[in-house]
Structure 1
Amino acid sequence: MIIKQLNIYGYGRWIDQQIDIQNPLQVIYGPNEAGKSTIIAFIKGILFGFPDKKHSPHGQYQPKGNAPYGGEMTFEVDGHLYKIVRTGLKYNGTIKFYDLDQGTKLTKDDYQNIISPIDRTAYDQLFYFGSIDQHEFYQMGRDELRMRIQSIGVAGAGDWMSLQSNLDKQSAKMYAPHGRTKTINVQISDYKKLEKQVTDAKADFPRYQHLQADLKTKQASLDQLQSQLKVLDRQLDEKRHLQTLLPLVSQLKGLKGLDESQLKAGFTNDDINQFNQLDLQLKTQEEQVSTRQKAVDEIAGNLVVTPSQKFYEAHKSDVDRLTDELPDAQKLALRIEMTAAQIAEVQKQVDEKASLIDKNDQGELPKPFDRQTFNQVNDLLREQQNLKERLSENHRRRRQSSPSKNQPNFSIWYGVAIALIIGAVLLSTTSAGWIGYILAIVSAVWGWYNAKNSTQDAPVETRDDQAAVQSQLEKIQDKMAVISKKFQLQGIDEPNWISIQSPLQQVADLKVNLQKQSNTLNDSQRKYSDFLRKWTFASDWLKFDQSKYSQTVETIAGTVKHWQQLSASYQQQKDELDKRQKDLASAKADFEQLLLKKKQFLDHRGIQSDTAFNQLVESQGSLAKDLSRKADLEKQITAANVQIPDDLDSEQLDAAINDLAVKGQAMRQKLDDLSQETTRIKTEVEGLIKNGKYYDLRQQLVNMQTEIVENVQKYMALKLSSQWIQAVLNIASKGRLPKTLALAKEYFATLTNNAYKDIIFKNEISVVRNDDVHFPINELSTGTLEQLYLALIFSMSVGFSDQYPMPIMIDDGFVNFDKDRKKAAGKLLDQVSERTQVLYFTANLDDNIDSSLVLNLKKL
Structure 2
Amino acid sequence: MKIKKAHIDGFGKWHDQDFNFTANPQIIYGPNEAGKTTLMAFLVSILFGFADGRGKNRFAQYIPKDTSSYGGSLLVEVNDQDYLIKRQRGRNGGKVIVTDSQGHQGGEQELEKLIGTMNRSLYQALFSFGQRDLAAIDEIDREDWQQYLQQLGAVGSAQWDQLIDQYQKDADRLYKPRGRKWPLNQDLHQYADLTDKINHARSKFQRYQDLQADLKSNQKILQQAQAELTRQKPVLQQLEHLRQLWPVYDEWRNSQQTSTPGNYLTDQQVITAQELQAKEKEIQRQHENYQQRIAVIDNSHVQPPRQTVQSIQSLQRLKERVVELQAEEALQQRQQTRVNNWQHELTTIKDRYHHPLPAPLDSRAKAELAQLLNTDPVSRTNANQFSGDLSRTSMFGIVGGFILFIIGLLANITFLTALGAIMAFATVMYLYYQRQGSHKNPTAIKDNSQALNVFGQKYGLQDFPPTQWLLMQGDLQRAVELVSQIKAAMQDQQRYDHQLAVFFQQLPPALQKLPLSSVKAKLDDLLEQRQQARQNVQANTREKATIASNLARLNQAYDKVYRQKMILYQQAGVHDNQQFTQYLAQRAAAQSQALASDAYGQQLTAADRQALSKYANKDELMSSFASIQKQIDQLSLTITKAQEKVQQDKVEITSLVEDGTLSNLEQERANLAAKIWHEVQEWLHYQLAVEWINKALAGASADRYPAIIHQAEKYFALLTNHRYTKINLTVDGIRVVRTDHEVFLVEELSQGTAEQLYISLRLGFVTVMSDQANFPIIIDDGFVNFDNVRRQRMLDLLEKIAVKNQVIYFTANERIKGLGIKIIDLQALNHE
- TM-score, reference length from structure 1: 0.37
- TM-score, reference length from structure 2: 0.38
